[in-house]
Structure 1
Amino acid sequence: MKITEIKTHLYEFENNRVVGDANSPAGRKLQSNLLIEVKSDEGLTGYSSSGAAAKPLVESMFNRAVKGKDPSNVKGITKQMMDFAFKGGHGGMINEAISALDIALWDLKAKSNNEPLWKTLGGLNPKVRAYASGLDIPMN
């Protein structure tokens, strides 16, 4: 199996209240995100999302390091993406782009294995304790 293409979709949504976090302490109601689809030559698709501003980096990194690769080697592909980004550092928007592609690749790998993601990642039990980080703090 080979990774053949990426599709990205920008979308906006309005929260029913003002939310914020450390990156937006004043909060906002309108938010935008990027839906990412990584497709294979066997018709499978891995999904992920990121912030909308990462779109050009996601697409560029896909073309440089992901397209044409075997999705069963997620760790190797992610290492190659990190190597491409090495001189620019591993922070900020490039890290968001790499992370978003990494998540889509794991999703694609799980689908190609015909198993749930938790099993592909080495989990022993499908039940996981939930954790809420509070990243969307109500500001009113």
Structure 2
Amino acid sequence: MTLSKIKHVRAFVAKGGGADYHDQVGQHWIDDHIATPMSRYPEYRQSRRSFGINVLGTLVVEIEAEDGTIGVAVTTGGEPAAYIVEKHLARFLEGRAPTDYEKIWDQMYFSTQYYGRKGLVINAISGVDLALWDLLGKLRQEPVYHLLGGAVRDELQFYATGARPDLAK
């Protein structure tokens, strides 16, 4: 089975929710008065938003195959991460087979060593990696857990976090 190659990589920012817990409509528990590295400064103790943690927003990554199939992922990082995805990382995907995921990841990671291996850069790489796995699963018409080796147990215990952890029930 020959799979479509990657045609295009897109990245954009979504506001008002998504992967960024701090960019939620209304109140959210994660913005309450809780300990953070900025708590040492009285003017920033009241909330995480007070020191700008919510300014970046949610990064959405779409990877489109030649046949029109689209893999999607969300992470944090906003506009700076979207810039990294489209201006730097996309070159390692476009025209390639989605099955080259190991080499693609290595090239994204090692090519970014000159400007960062944490924070925004890793968020951008993670978004691309997740969208690539989503695309591969859709192209093969298999759930991603099959691609990763298949089920190893009948049930899973999991920890759910997010803007609406109640939805995981």
The interval holding the TM-score normalised by the smaller chain is 0.7 to 0.9
AA in 2 matched with 1:42? D
- Contact 1:8/1:37 (CA < 8 Å) preserved in 2? yes
Given candidates 26, 35, 38, the residue that maps to 1:16 is 26
SS in 2 for 1:17: coil
Give the direction of change, closer, same or farther, for the CA distance of 1:88–1:16 in structure 2 (3 Å limit). Answer: same
Structure 1 residues without counterparts, runs of 5 or longer: none
Q: Deviations over 1:66-122 (max 9, x none)?
A: 111100121111011112112334112111111110111111111111101111111
- Contact 1:7/1:37 (CA < 8 Å) preserved in 2? yes
Rg larger for = 2
- Contact 1:118/1:126 (CA < 8 Å) preserved in 2? no
Q: Which residue of 2 aligns with 1:87?
A: 114
SS in 2 for 1:59: helix
TM-score (norm 2): 0.68
Structure 2 residues without counterparts, runs of 5 or longer: 17-23, 40-46, 165-169
TM-score (norm 1): 0.80
Q: Which residue of 1 aligns with 2:69?
A: 44
Aligned length: 136
Q: Which residue of 2 aligns with 1:76?
A: 103
Identity of aligned residues (%): 27
Q: Out of 81-90 and 100-109, give the one that drifted further.
A: 81-90
Q: Out of 113-122 and 4-13, give the one that drifted further.
A: 4-13
Q: Equivalents in 2 of 1:56, 1:108: separation in Å?
A: 21
Q: Out of 55-64 and 127-136, give the one that drifted further.
A: 127-136
Runs of 4+ in 1 over 4 A off after TM superposition: 21-25, 133-136
Structure 1 residue 60: Cα displacement: 1.9
Give the direction of change, closer, same or farther, for the CA distance of 1:134–1:44 in structure 2 (3 Å limit). Answer: closer
